[in-house]
Structure 1
Amino acid sequence: MTRWLVPMLVSCLLASAFASVLAGSVWLTPREAFQALAFDHADLAGQIVTQIRLPRVVLSMAIGGILGLSGAVMQGLLRNPLADPGLLGVSAGASLGAVIAIYFGFAASFTLAAPLFGLTGAFVTTGIAFILARGGGTLSLILAGAAVSSIASAGVSLALNLSPNPYAAYEIMTWLMGSLADRSWDHVRLATPFILAGGTMLLLTGRALDALALGEAQAESLGIAVSRTRMLALIGTALGVGGATAVSGTIGFVGLIAPHLVRPLVAHRPGKVLIPAMLVGAVLVTLADIASRTLVFRGMPLNLGVFISLIGAPFFLWLVLHVRRRTA
């Protein structure tokens, strides 16, 4: 099963991506999509495919992939099955940065202001968490991330409370709920370099995560530089998840769910979980984006982040109960 796991997940991802090109308020046939991609980019179908849906497909795969990968790394690094990328304050910092751009009107005058401010917020909060946890161990890192995340979340709440008008509050809330609607190739060009750089750094931690499963002292005795591994994981998560959150808003639970779906299939080895978790995360977000475009409740589509939360929250509850039974 392990041998065929990655090819199977790649096939599922390609099928999901193709379905995402076809799905939407205007459904396309496979023939129309192929013609739009291969021949005619100027007609209506061509514009829909190349300018609206393809950027969403690329972003959904990249964002889901980095969330799944970073979740697997965080769970392996912290040896905590309930860990996810948001534990370090990256998502909260990116959210605060984007909210600042919306609150002060920068987003209204410059399209990419919110993503750029989001990236800055992610890097600032991660840097603060790293400084606070420097010299400490895993527990210090968790506590520092939780503290920074709480402060950033308080800043978001303050901005909503003091919002100058209902329209700004609505825009902030819409962004916080997570979405890939109206994203363009500019957003792809902004986010993907950070996601690729962060993903590369996270993939380099695979061997060290296998050793860390034995404990930090045992990993050090095997020649693993734990502090270097921790730094790679922290900077990689800041780059990748910061870039993802900056363009999509807050999308939770993917980093928590994806590693757990594949872990039993790779004999629970932390290093072997990374690539399958990345692929599963990409599939989850791509399918959720299709659902957010096609499922309508009371005339309103669901935001991507809301749809994933509706699935992720029950899974999280099941996971807590499962962990409690296993450790009882």
Structure 2
Amino acid sequence: MSDRALGTGLVLLLALLFSGSLLLGPATPALAFLEGLLADPDGPLWLILVEIRLPRALLGAMTGASLGLAGAALQGYLRNPLAEPGIVGVSASAAFGAVLAFYSGLATLLPLAMPVSGILGALLGVLLVQALAGTATLGLILAGVAVSSFASALTSLALNLSPNPFAATEITFWLMGSLADRSLDHVWLALPFTVAGWLCLLTTGRALDALSLDEDAAASLGFDLARLRLVLLAGVALAVGAATAVTGVVGFVGLVVPHLLRPLVGHRPARLLPLSALGGACLMLASDLLVRLVTPGQELKLGVVTALIGTPFFFFLVLRAARTAP
């Protein structure tokens, strides 16, 4: 399948899911909702559309695109099909930053303190990984696992020491990941960091293609591997950090989407990157529609749904790797 045909199909699917996210809800059928919008342009349905459903759809598309793009870039750089954004400590660091703002009371005083702290946590986590990793790819993986484990331990400590059990419960629910109760303020806050991260990651395509041969071949073709790592880590920190800061931790999207699309693009990272962004946005919006329509009374958390989708897929990858190992 050509990249153009695949990209067109994903864009159409994304447009369909985005429209569904705006029109579908547990209370009002899509056709009745649309008729209500057209019949009363100043009515309450427009308020629901603009203040509730539009931010949710935008953040879903942005978050999914960030996770899919970051997963494809990391798998290309590490040459490891099991790599995903959490492996470099970004998700855990962003989550700890947001939890710290909640725990300290800043989130109560300033509504946007939580996402801002999450973005700062992601950036600090990646800086620490870069400082610890050295030049070897294995060092990056080990440093990422160490930082991720440390950030997760600090998050658990904050939960353990929380004097208010209701606050601890709210933090726990936030960590599960969700697009509910987000506003356009969250969209505008995350957008510049997200776009900057996308631009960084999309510029790594040609270098990742060369790196798929090996590091010596990439260096001989004139690619600066140290600069590549810096740009890639910055892109992952900005895009995934902003996503985690406003939606909580949503896993497995960056693992599943590149695997589904890679065989269709000839296993070339440069071709895979933009398509993984589109695929990630589609998967995120589809998962969010699922949680809204299947369990309308008590909405499942988005991170729970993506984990239920991604875990069997992860098991399949591990079993296939074990069977093909010499």
Q: TM-score range by the shorter chain?
A: over 0.9
Q: Distance in 2 between matches of 1:11 and 1:163?
A: 46
The percent identity for this pair of structures is 51
Give the alignment's Cα RMSD to 1 decimal.
1.5
Cα deviation 1:31-56 (Å, max 9, x = unaligned)? 743773x7855311111111110111
Show the 5 A alignment for 1:1-328. 1-2=1-2, 3-30=4-31, 32-33=33-34, 36=37, 41-134=41-134, 136-296=135-295, 299-328=297-326
- Measured at CA, do residues 124 and 326 of structure 1 come closer, stay the same or move farther in structure 2, by a change above 3 Å? same
Give the direction of change, closer, same or farther, for the CA distance of 1:45–1:216 in structure 2 (3 Å limit): same
Alpha-carbon distance between aligned partners in 1 of 2:194 and 2:132, rounded to the nearest angstrom: 25
CA contact (8 A) 1:21 1:33 kept: no
Distance 1:41 1:131 in 2: 55
After alignment, is 246-255 or 140-149 more displaced?
A: 140-149
Q: CA deviation at 1:110?
A: 1.7
SS at match of 1:187: helix
CA distance in 1, matches of 2:231, 2:324: 31
What is the letter of the counterpart of residue 205 of structure 2?
Answer: G
Encode CA deviations 1:106-140: one digit per residue, 9 max, x unaligned.
Answer: 11222111111111111111111111124x21111
What is the distance in 2 between the residues matched to 1:102 and 1:34? 41
Change (3 A) 1:266 1:120: same
- Bigger shift: residues 75-84 or 214-223: 214-223
- Report Cα offsets for 1:117-167 as digits up to 9, x if no partner: 111111111111111124x21111111111111110000111111111210
Distance 1:109 1:167 in 2: 17
Name the aligned partner's letter for residue 284 of structure 2: V
- Unmatched segments (≥5 aa) in structure 1: none
AA aligned to 1:26 is A
CA displacement 1:206-236 (0-9 Å, x = unmatched): 0011100111111101111111111111000
Structure 2 counterpart SS, 1:95: helix
- 2:61–2:281 Cα contact (<8 Å) kept: yes
How far residue 295 of structure 1 moved from its aligned partner, in angstroms, is: 1.8
- In the alignment, residue 195 of structure 1 is paired with which amino acid? T
Change (3 A) 1:321 1:21: same
Report the TM-score when normalising by structure 2: 0.96
Structure 1 position 288, deviation (Å): 0.6
- What letter matches 2:30 in structure 1? T
Q: Which amino acid aligns with 1:181?
A: A
User: Does the Cα contact within 8 Å between 1:33 and 1:49 map onto a contact in 2?
Assistant: no
CA distance in 2, matches of 1:180, 1:118: 16
Evaluate the alpha carbon distance shift between residue 271 and residue 34 of structure 1 in structure 2; reply closer, same or farther with a 3 A threshold.
Answer: farther
The 1:174–1:41 alpha-carbon spacing in structure 2 relative to 1, beyond 3 Å, is: farther
* Aligned length, in residue pairs: 325
Identify the range of structure 1 (81-90 vs 316-325) with the bigger mean alpha-carbon deviation. Answer: 316-325
